[in-house]
Amino acid sequence: MENRLFSVFRTSGNALAVQRRQIELSSENIANAQTTRIEGQKGPYKIKRLVQEGPRQVESFGRLMERNSLEMNTTHESHRSSNQVNNRGESVNRDLSPRATVVEQEKIRWEYDPTHPDSNENGMVAYPDVDMVEEMTNILSANRLYEANLTVIEAEKQNIRQALSI
């Protein structure tokens, strides 16, 4: 969606996806807290963490945004806002949304259980060290941020509706 009218929707929409991914990963971690083996992989289940990255070209992006915020291809000179410094059709990244990548963490919690089929020679079993409190708070905060982004989308929708009624 390159249209400037919908760029708020894109930013907030991608942020919604990131928060949903966070909830997915936390629930996956909790569900696999007792997983001691995974087919085709050594060791127990690896804890998955979401790492968020800011929009690209952070340095100059205030300016980029200013430059591109009100881009029109052909218009009367006086209809242009001075926000738009030039109009050379430069291809720039206008995406302001965060991006997230999944990182696997190998944190192991040892438990003594010699009868367990996955125990080692010392009778210790390796479990993933899932911090339940951390995962639950991650879910809660992701949930709230999801709501915040929904509010932004709702606000923008109302703004557009208002503008259409002039």
Partner 1 sequence: MKLIDNKHSRMLANAMDTYSLRTKALASNIANIDTPGYRRLEVSFEEEMSRALQGATGKNMDEVHGKVATSSQKKELEDEMMELADTQIRTQIVTKELRHHFTMLRSAIIGRPQG
Contact residues toward partner 1 (CB under 8 A) are 7-8, 11-12, 14-15, 18, 52-55, 58, 61-63, 65-66, 69-70, 78, 81-83, 96-98, 141, 144-145, 148-149, 151-152, 155-156, 158-159, 162-163, 165-166
Cα 128 to the center of its chain, rounded Å: 24
Cβ 151 to partner 1 shortest distance, Å: 7
Q: List, as one string, the DSSP characters of 103-137.
A: EEE--EEEEE-TTSTT--TTSEEEEE---HHHHHH
Nearer to partner 1, 12 or 36 (CB): 12
Integer CA distances (angstroms), 126 to 2, 63, 75, 110, 131, in order: 49, 51, 67, 5, 15
β-pair partners for 103: 49
Nearer to partner 1, 27 or 159 (CB): 159
Cβ 36 to partner 1 shortest distance, Å: 32
Nearer to partner 1, 5 or 38 (CB): 5
Q: What count of residues does the chain have?
A: 166
